[in-house]
Amino acid sequence: MENNFFNVGIIDELDRVDGKAKVTGTAKYAAEYELPNLTYGVLVDSTITNGSIAAIDSKAAEKAPGAITVISHLNSPKVPGYDAGANPVKGPTGGKGLQIFNDNIIHFNGQPVALVIADTFERAVYAASLVKIQYKKEAHQTDLDEAKKNVLALEGQRYNDYLRGEADTYKNAPVKIEAEYIVPIEVHNPMEMHATIAFWSGEDKVTVYEKTQGVKSTQRSIMQAFKLPEENVQVIAKFVGGGFGAALRTWPHAIAACIGAKKTGKPLKLVLNRMQMFTMVGFRPHAVQKIGIGATPDGKLTGISHEAFSHTSQYEEFTEGIVNMSRFMYACPNVNTRYKIYPLNISTPTWMRGPGEATGSFALECGLDELAYALKIDPIELRIRNYAETDPQRNLPYTSKFLKEAYQLGVDKIGWNSRNSTPRSMKEGELLVGYGMGSGVFNASRGTARAFARLNADGTLLIQSAVADSGPGTATAMTQVASNATGIHVNKITFELGDSSYPPGPTQGGSTTTSTLGSAVHDASVALKKKIIELAKENAVFHTADIHNAKPEDFVFENGNILLAADRSKKMSFTDVVKGAGLTQVEVTEESKGSEELRKYASYSYSVHFVKILVNPATGVMRIVRAVTVVDAGKIISLKTAESQMIGGVVGGIGMALMEEGIIDHRYGRWVNNNFADYHVPVQADVPHIEALFVDKPDPVLNPIGAKGMGEVAIIGFAAAVANAVYHATGKRIRELPITPDKLIS
Ligand code: MOS
């Protein structure tokens, strides 16, 4: 690992660099590009849940005003990547993938079966309403509880049981709990709908404006689907209006847009509607979990058993680490986990913020609270008594772990120690008061990324990388990283992203963008400074014997100047260095990735959430009145965007805890609440003042900037904190999300 061996200066509390563009409406999202001869596509969705298409009558649709064509499996141009069973649009999941317009098989209700293209959006919607489809229906299964009784679970190496020590030892422990926890389907529902604009130049070159969390990964999917070389596919995503995981994959509708644009020879815009956002771009799957935890009377964990049942689609295997956190969060000699998934007639689930762990932490962190009450030990104290000093699953030291510090910050802030821990003992007027906490963990990693940096003769710095920012504020954080490393003021730095033709950046997922890309930006900055040193040494103004022999660490970079640390009168502006060398710019491209050394460590980010709630005992109406969220995510690069990230995660957590529930009518396999009137998310009035606190200690191993990730841990463990507060307030243990008022008064 390369250390930042330079002494640098400016750390401003930077405003979001794209904030003005976003709030003034000049930021362009995928669907907002105007192109000449733009056509509009609307997808027709299956109205049955399982079976096949017997016939499609598109004559009326084709004759409708402005209609251009109707594409289905009957007439779709072949997608070359579909051959040999290949799945060009797969994420890292097993199975074949939904090959849109490739056959007449229906796997789920709402499956896209035809694409209607017209000269305006409204005419496309009307024409789509005229497409008549005859189906051959078969029996379907959309109910996980029923599937558990009647359907074979998928087997495979991704579902391997885990065992450390002995299985199910909790059953014989002096103090134990055993419970079932349920998380329903949850849907990402970002504000921006998924959208694709595709246009072809000739037969073999396509440009795609796409809502995606990864311009390079979308580029790869389209390359594979249409068997095109990299240089023939350009993917642009300059702004993304929220993703939360839904835009990690390239979904079939994006391939449909490319098919449509190719067939008509005109640019095509395809925007999903809100209902399609429930069926075409994934969701957090429903999961039933059984947790058993045993301990000695003095609160030492002796055994954890964690079992999860979830589901996937009929055509792909989606798995996530629901039970994984139980293996490594606490020191415990005996741990066993099991995970099974059942194929249902629902579309493929996908990663949603805190994938796996957000679900798993609900069981583990509530289970620990149950155990704390059984033991009569404070829940924080119980966690401290079982604090893992090294990774219990892999027997490795941590790159850094400041979870104890995080507990303490939260305990002090919320006033944890002045609560009366007896359930139903605290009141404000008629209202019951509850305090609860829950913690989260997520792997902190570092992938591979490249960044291009250009220092111009006017002293401005341009950095580019092919990453997409779904909202965390990547351009802001990268501007800060570059400023920290070069000593160039943030106002003189521009970070450009969202174009696959830039040097490859990571997909924005798994809480790794800041670590991965930040390292590349840091390394590019360091490489740039080396060039500045070389050029400065050659410059007559600067050139003296002592400078000639100076090492990189003998220089200071400050406010766009290079100085000799030992003699600060030896100073040149970057502008003079570049111009003095007879250049207009200095450029570097650096690739950065994790080292072999990292394999010797385990690396995680941690969160601890605390809430205070008020419950009306008569109506069951509950309000979260305070939320304190603390994170150990290494060094905080950009304070404002980090706070926003944590606050956003808590808002998502409030939705998960109190409101969000995807409902399917299993008689028909159709969604009941696939709209914002019926699928509830938190609004302003549901969200209290949220205090985000940071341990802010750099990780000395993971990467040169000291930052771990925080996108996922922002939500992981929050629902448990709320459920635990509900128990404290009411004495009722609610083990099924969301915690709606009816559950509190029944
Ligand atoms: Mo995140 S679920 O990896 O977008």
String of DSSP letters for 230-281? GGGEEEE-SB-S--TTTTSS--HHHHHHHHHHHHHSS-EEEE--TTGGGTSS
What does the pLDDT read at residue 14?
A: 87
For every residue of 312-380, DSSP letters joined together read E-SSEE----TTTHHHHSB--S-EEEEEEEEE-SSPPP---SSTTHHHHHHHHHHHHHHHHHHHT--HH
Alpha-carbon span 277 to 243, nearest angstrom: 12
What does the pLDDT read at residue 538?
A: 87
Give 129 Cα–ligand 1 centroid separation in angstroms.
35
Buried b (16+ CB within 10 A) or exposed e, 394-428: eeeebbbbbbbbbbbbbbeebebeebebebbebee
**Contact status, residue 355 vs residue 442, Cβ threshold 8 Å:** no
Give 311 Cα–ligand 1 centroid separation in angstroms.
19
Q: Which residues pair with 116 in a beta bridge?
A: 42, 70
Q: What is the DSSP letter of 78?
A: P
Q: Decide if 122 is catalytic.
A: no
What does the pLDDT read at residue 154?
A: 82
Give 450 Cα–ligand 1 centroid separation in angstroms.
21
Given the CA of residue 354, which atom of ligand 1 is nearest to it?
2
What does the pLDDT read at residue 213?
A: 98
Q: Which residue has the tokens 């078969």?
A: 138
Give 249 Cα–ligand 1 centroid separation in angstroms.
10
* Candidates 203, 496, 712, 736; catalytic one: 712
**Contact status, residue 212 vs residue 218, Cβ threshold 8 Å:** yes
**Contact status, residue 88 vs residue 221, Cβ threshold 8 Å:** yes
Show Cβ contacts of residue 218 under 8 Å, excluding neighbours closer than 6 positions: 208, 210, 212, 235, 237, 250, 254, 500
**Nearest CA-CA partner of 605 in 642, 640, 658:** 642
Give 363 Cα–ligand 1 centroid separation in angstroms.
21
What does the pLDDT read at residue 95?
A: 67
What is the CB < 6 Å shell around ligand 1?
Answer: 213, 243-245, 248, 351-353, 355, 509-510
Please give the distance of CA 324 from its chain centroid, rounded to a whole number. Answer: 17
Show Cβ contacts of residue 335 under 8 Å, excluding neighbours closer than 6 positions: 162, 163, 164, 165, 303, 304, 305, 306, 326, 327, 392
What does the pLDDT read at residue 412?
A: 98
pTM for this entry: 0.96
Buried b (16+ CB within 10 A) or exposed e, 337-354: bbbbbbbbbbbbbbbbbb
Q: At what angle do helices 252-264 and 215-226 cross, to 10 degrees?
A: 60
User: Which among 284, 318, 357, 712 is the best mutation to test ligand 1's pocket, defined by most ligand atoms within 8 Å of the CB?
Assistant: 712
**Nearest CA-CA partner of 563 in 56, 136, 574:** 574
User: Which among 249, 283, 353, 716 is the best mutation to test ligand 1's pocket, defined by most ligand atoms within 8 Å of the CB?
Assistant: 353
Q: Consecutive 10-residue runs of the chain (746 residues): their mean pLDDT?
A: 37 83 96 97 98 98 98 96 61 72 97 98 98 98 95 75 97 98 98 98 96 97 96 98 96 97 98 98 98 98 97 92 97 97 96 98 98 98 98 98 98 98 98 98 97 98 98 97 96 98 97 98 98 90 75 93 91 94 97 94 98 98 98 96 96 98 98 97 95 97 97 98 98 98 94
User: Which among 186, 351, 359 is the best mutation to test ligand 1's pocket, defined by most ligand atoms within 8 Å of the CB?
Assistant: 351
Instruction: Provide the pairing of β-strand 162-164 with 335-343.
Output: antiparallel
* Helix H or strand E encompassing 652: helix 639-658
Instruction: Provide the pairing of β-strand 7-8 with 567-573.
Output: unpaired
Sign of CA dihedral 318, 323, 325, 327: negative
Show the tokens assigned to 701.
């191993």
Residue nearest atom 3 in ligand 1 by C-alpha distance = 509
**Nearest CA-CA partner of 290 in 144, 180, 168, 162:** 180
Given the CA of residue 508, which atom of ligand 1 is nearest to it?
4
Q: What is the DSSP letter of 617?
A: T
Q: Which residues pair with 162 in a beta bridge?
A: 337
Given the CA of residue 245, which atom of ligand 1 is nearest to it?
4
What does the pLDDT read at residue 545?
A: 66
The three-state secondary structure class of 225 is: helix
Give 605 Cα–ligand 1 centroid separation in angstroms.
15
First to last CA, the chain: 58
Give 62 Cα–ligand 1 centroid separation in angstroms.
40
Residue 307 phi/psi, 5-degree rounding, is -125, 140
Q: Which amino acid is at 227?
A: K
Integer CA distances (angstroms), 340 to 75, 141, 147, 362, in order: 39, 17, 11, 18
472: left (phi over 0), alpha (psi -120 to 50) or beta: alpha
Alpha-carbon span 413 to 370, nearest angstrom: 23
Please give the distance of CA 442 from its chain centroid, rounded to a whole number. Answer: 11
Q: Which residue has the tokens 């694709």?
A: 196
Q: What is the DSSP letter of 153?
A: P
User: Which among 187, 218, 248, 319 is the best mutation to test ligand 1's pocket, defined by most ligand atoms within 8 Å of the CB?
Assistant: 248
Q: Which residues pair with 304 in a beta bridge?
A: 293, 335
Show the tokens assigned to 643.
């706070």
Show Cβ contacts of residue 313 under 8 Å, excluding neighbours closer than 6 positions: 95, 98, 107, 108, 343, 344, 345, 346, 347, 348, 349
Residue nearest atom 4 in ligand 1 by C-alpha distance = 245
Show Cβ contacts of residue 102 under 8 Å, excluding neighbours closer than 6 positions: 73, 76, 79, 82
Alpha-carbon span 94 to 115, nearest angstrom: 27
